[in-house]
């Protein structure tokens, strides 16, 4: 492990934090490469990779619109000792090249009985933003969480945007980092940069409460926190537990939290059926947590995502809907 830089505190937005992590990683790991569509000279469609090309030259480059080649070449380069950090501009676009993630990257270590590894990181972003069409709105984490061999995380704060990426790139297995474009330009916060590589996994308690546990991830974390604040005013204590790492998933921490409050709601932006919320509920059930009420899942209904904001708003969970369903869970 190379020497890590001294920790320092900087005021960074979410996108800037990703950028800071990429700068650090390229400095400390000479085997890293950064590439993808528009990431080099233009610095990314969201500006997240700005300045890297200037600082690191040929290790940062633009690619053709060829997701299979981007991902496949990352697998190949990773097997040969490079540590590629590739960008898939929207998670929706990974679907044109799933083979390279599911059949290829995820198999490398296992099938070679550990003789080969594929330490690549795929950065992408997902979810709805007002006006986005059905092919630019999907939340696909459950698809990837069904793939053994692939690590998956979803940061929702500038600090986690930094930390999770650092951890991901240092990991010797393929990791998918799913960012969220509605967060890129959010408020700057104090971010500790540098320092040791954070461990993989763990949860973040984003709001304290003892009546009900809300498990959530991604941008929904902040809708859940808003809901918790609303309900706090009504005397309902909502503990919001964010699980930024979905694989590995900290089952123990989630089970412990549900065991304390004995009520569980899972909130995600993805549609409910086959969503990872089902897995969370199953794990808590299997652990034998004696819940006071049946657990609930809050997500988008099972439908395509419409472009019109008025239609999309009717489908996506927001603070009011979360608060309403959690209130019913607690009060009956």
Partner 1 sequence: MSERRLADLLAMWRIRAFEEKVRDLRLEGPIVGSVHLCIGQEAIPVGACDVLEPEDALYATYRGHGWAIARGVPVEALFAELMGRATGVNGGRGGSAYFTAADHGFHGENSIVGAGAPIACGAALAGRFDGSDRAAVTVFGDGAMNQGAVHEAMNFAAAFDLPVVFVCENNRYSELTPIADMVRAPRLADRAAAYGMPGYRIDGNDAEAVRFHMRDALEVAREGGGPTLLECMTERIVGHYIGDAENYRKPGELDRIRRREPIARLKEGLLADGVPAAEIDAVEEKARGEIEAAAAAAMAAPYADPATAREHLYA
- The residues that are catalytic are 136
Q: Which is nearer to ligand TPP, 182 or 251 (CB)?
A: 182
Q: Residue-wise over 33-45: b if at least 16 C-beta within 10 A, else e?
A: bbbbbbbbeebbb
Report d(CA 67, CA 46) in Å as an integer.
18
Identify the bridge partners of residue 247 per DSSP, sorted by sequence position. 152
Helix (H, G, I), strand (E, B) or coil at 231: helix
Distance CA 4, CA 1 (A): 8
Pick the binder of partner 1 from 248, 309, 320, 328 (CB under 8 A): 309
Interacting residues with ligand TPP (CB under 6 A): 37, 65, 67, 89, 93, 96
State the minimum distance, in angstroms, from the CB of residue 14 to partner 1: 19
Out of 9, 41, 80, 282, the only residue in the binding site for partner 1 (CB under 8 A) is 41
- Return the one option of partner 1, ligand TPP, none that residue 173 interacts with (CB less than 5 to 8 A, by type): none
* Smallest distance from ligand TPP to CB 65, Å: 5
Residue 308 interacts with, from partner 1, ligand TPP, none (CB under 5-8 Å by kind): partner 1
Spatial CA neighbour of 267 closest among 303, 295, 304: 295
- Does residue number 96 form part of the binding site for partner 1 (CB under 8 A)? yes
Helix extents (H) in 198-240: 220-232
Residue 141, interface with partner 1 (CB under 8 A)?
no
User: Helix, strand, or coil here: 262?
Assistant: coil
Binding stretches for partner 1 (CB under 8 A): 37-38, 41-42, 45, 62-68, 92-93, 95-97, 129-136, 301-304, 306-315
């Amino acid at each position: 492990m190379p020497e890590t830089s001294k920790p320092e505190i900087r005021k960074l937005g979410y996108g800037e934090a990703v950028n800071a992590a990429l700068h650090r990683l390229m400095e400390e790991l000479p085997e890293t490469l950064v590439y993808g569509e528009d990431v080099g000279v233009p610095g990314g469609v969201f500006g997240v990779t700005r300045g890297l090309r200037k600082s690191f030259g040929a290790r940062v480059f633009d690619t053709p619109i060829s997701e299979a080649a981007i991902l496949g070449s990352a697998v190949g380069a990773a097997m040969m000792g490079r540590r590629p950090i590739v960008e898939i501009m929207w998670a929706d676009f990974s679907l044109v090249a799933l083979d390279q993630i599911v059949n290829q990257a995820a198999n490398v270590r296992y099938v070679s009985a550990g003789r080969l590894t594929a330490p690549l990181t795929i950065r992408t972003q997902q979810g709805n933003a007002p006006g986005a069409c059905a092919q630019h709105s999907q939340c696909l984490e459950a698809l990837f969480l069904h793939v053994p061999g692939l690590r998956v995380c979803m940061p929702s704060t500038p600090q986690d945007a930094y930390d999770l990426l650092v951890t991901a790139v240092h990991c010797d297995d393929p990791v998918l980092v799913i960012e969220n474009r509605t967060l890129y330009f959010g408020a700057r916060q104090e971010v500790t940069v540098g320092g040791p590589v954070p461990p993989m996994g763990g949860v973040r308690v984003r709001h304290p409460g003892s009546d009900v546990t809300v498990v959530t991830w991604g941008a929904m974390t902040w809708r859940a926190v808003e809901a918790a604040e609303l309900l706090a005013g009504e005397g309902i204590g909502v503990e919001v537990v964010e699980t930024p790492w979905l694989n590995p998933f900290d089952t123990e921490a989630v089970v412990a939290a549900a065991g304390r409050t004995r009520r569980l709601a899972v909130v995600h932006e993805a549609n409910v059926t086959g969503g990872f919320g089902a897995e969370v509920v199953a794990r808590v059930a299997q652990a034998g947590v004696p819940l006071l009420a049946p657990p609930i899942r809050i997500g988008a209904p099972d439908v395509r995502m419409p472009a019109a904001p008025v239609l999309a708003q009717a489908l996506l969970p927001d603070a009011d809907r979360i608060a309403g369903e959690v209130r019913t869970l607690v009060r009956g």
